[in-house]
Amino acid sequence: MSLNNIRININMKTKSLIFAALFICCGSFSRAQTSITVAAGDNAANPTISKYIYSHFAEHLGHGIYEGFYVGDTSHIPNTYGIRNDVIAALKKMKIAALRWPGGCFADTYHWKDGVGPRDKRPAIINKWWGGTVEDNSFGTNEFLNMCELLGADPYISGNVGSGSVQELSDWVNYVSSDSKNPMSDLRKANGRDKPWKVKFWGIGNEAWGCGGNMTPDYYSNEFRKYSTFMTNWDNDNRIYRVASGANSDDYNWTETLMKNIPNDLIEGIALHHYAIIDWGHKSSATQYTEQQYFATMKSALYMDTLVTRHSAIMDKYDPKKKVGLIVDEWGGWYDVEPGTNPGFLYQQNTMRDAMIAGATLNIFNNHCDRVRMANLAQCINVLQAVILTHGDKMILTPTYYVMEMYNVHQNATQLPLVVKSEDYILGLGKLPAISASASRDKDGVTHISLVNIDPDHAHKISLNLDGKKFSSVKGNILVSAKVQDYNSFDEPGKIAPKEFSGANLKGNNISISLPAASVVVLALN
């Protein structure tokens, strides 16, 4: 190597070092902050964020119903009619809006008459989808609807289309909702319930493209029309809301075919299912995941925005007045089951990753509330992305629970549109928007803004502009932990819980915020 070459090499090395230093230094100084503009002024024409976006799902699966909600009235665990008192109190505090039941895949194998009447006369069946366990039918229609009354939640029943009949489903509607003299209301009365419960929300089958019968969209459309015709608004003021089994994630053809084939007066809602999952063949551990796995899960979760936008656009073509709701009746993170647990029980822990999924997804739903009228997190207790985990008489609240509780201020509030220009969360060659947000004004005039920073490595600065209204105070709560993999366990149940947030400063019509890595914040403005 000549002397000249050496000089050139040194020069190049020095230059690239200077360049790298400048890049790192200026990069961190000039890291452009995220900007958010909220249209905070007149909101008379804005849509309402339906409280039903804050709904849940409970299937006869693993320890979701049995040991989760229901321990039976002879249990030593404090209960009301067999429903755990700790669970009732926690879900009421979270303001659970509606509860979908009994499935899921289980719904299309379920014959409701097996689950009513004296418990010792109810037949036992095999739960063929979930672990092959014996289902003794001790928790049935009366138990579910009485439980919903205790929870203050509206019931959402998934009817059996796959292996049931039109008569069976219309009988079920009559059993729970009819006031007049007929065999089904007589049966209800004989089973100890005089007054009907009046169930509004009904799913007509579940995942008809898969476990619900492997149907084509054309075939299912016809089935839906037939079932829906006989699910009438019986003899009282109960208006039934009929939800068609919807698309699997980005199966846009499913939505298009149903919207084209089903007359507007036979349908009130169409479902959508999407899970935040890396790959069905290679899921991650619920707690021991790498940042690559975290990134891939968040990418799948944020895809919900594309899904809701595109399914809504299809619905707009056939239903420009937006009469039919998009009902995202299964969503959430899906990981490997906890080591040593039954693979058919889908029991997984719940970390700050789940809080990120919940916060970001609820922001998406709030921002699309003109079409998204209900969403049901899968599933409520001990299954998938649960808000509650139980073990014997112990119960813990997960990070997802706290996000649901913090966000309940948006229920039935008026949506305030916002524009988010987010900084990126970068991992290797991949990037995702780090910040998501949604905003609303409640009936008392308080404005709430929910913010999520999914970036597990950096705090992000946000400049939040409030257009059209002056505010005099801001306060907030934050959910954050040292590591995104952190979770509440039965040994350390209080590790993660919301705390007061002091990182928001209001000056004129601007709030400057420093949002810690992997955190969820909800601000209240007066």
Least spacing, CB of residue 105 vs ligand AHR, in Å = 4
DSSP 3-state assignment of 155?
A: strand
Secondary structure in 3-state letters for 6-19: HHHHHHHHHHHHHH
Angle (nearest 5°) at CA 76 between 74 and 77: 105
Q: 330 catalytic, yes or no?
A: yes
The DSSP call for residue 503 is -
Of 207, 268, 405, 423, catalytic: 207
CA 37/CA 325 separation, integer angstroms:
27
Is-contact 385 406, C-beta < 8 A? no
Least spacing, CB of residue 196 vs ligand AHR, in Å = 28
Least spacing, CB of residue 498 vs ligand AHR, in Å = 27
Nearer to ligand AHR, 103 or 162 (CB): 103
Nearer to ligand AHR, 162 or 433 (CB): 162
Give the residue carrying structure tokens 């997984």.
348
Q: Cα Rg for the chain, rounded, in angstroms?
A: 25
Least spacing, CB of residue 384 vs ligand AHR, in Å = 6
Least spacing, CB of residue 108 vs ligand AHR, in Å = 9
Enumerate binding residues for ligand AHR (CB under 6 A).
Answer: 59, 103-105, 206-207, 330, 378-379, 384
Of 59, 67, 268, 330, catalytic: 330
Nearer to ligand AHR, 127 or 440 (CB): 127
The gap between the terminal CA atoms of the chain, to the nearest Å, is 72
Least spacing, CB of residue 379 vs ligand AHR, in Å = 6
Q: 207 catalytic, yes or no?
A: yes
Nearer to ligand AHR, 104 or 115 (CB): 104
Residue whose beta carbon is closest to ligand AHR: 104
Spell 314-348 as b/e; 16+ CB within 10 A means b.
Answer: bbeeebeeeebbbbbbbbbbbbbbbeeeeeebbbb
Query: How many CB atoms are located within 10 Å of the residue 92 CB?
Result: 13
Residue 131's Cβ-count burial label (10 Å; 0-12, 13-18, 19+) is middle
The residues, any chain, with a CB within 8 Å of residue 361's CB and separated by 6 or more, are 276, 301, 304, 331, 375
Indicate which residues carry an active-site annotation: 207, 330
